[in-house]
Amino acid sequence: MEIKEAQERVDVWINTTGVCYFSELTNMVILSEEVGELARIMARKYGDQSFKKSDEVSDMADEMADILWVLMCLANQTGIDLTEALENNFKKKDLRDHLRHKSNPKLK
C-alpha cells in the first residue's frame, strides 16, 4: 500500500466507522501515548528493564502501526501529503547529510 492510499483509507475509516476525527490536540496527545507504549516495549525488550506480567503480550508491530495511524490522522487533519513530505525530507537529508555520517568515526 502506498502512503497516499493509506492516508485515504484512514480518512474513510475515520469518517465512517470512527464517526469523525478527534481534535488535532487530542490526536497529538494520543500520538505521544502511542510512542510511549512503543518505548515501553523497547525498554523491556532491548533495554535493562524486565517485562511485567502485563507487558508480556505486547506487540511492537501493532504499536508502530498505531503510531502510523495517528500520524496519518494528523496529516489528514492539517492537509499534509505524507508522500510529498517524505520525499522533501529525503531531499533535505541528501543535501545536509550526504557526508556527515560517512565521516563520523563513531559509526565506523
pLDDT in tens, 45-64: 999 988 888 777 889 999 99
pLDDT in tens, 69-107: 999 999 999 999 999 999 999 999 999 988 888 889 998
Containing 14, the helix (H) or strand (E) segment is: helix 3-16
Q: Please say whether the structural domain 3-81 has been given the CATH code 1.10.287.1080.
A: yes
Task: Report the C-alpha gap between 73 and 58 in whole angstroms.
Answer: 23
pTM (predicted TM-score): 0.89
In the prediction, which pLDDT does 15 show? 96
Enumerate residues 6+ apart whose C-beta is below 8 A from 12.
Answer: none
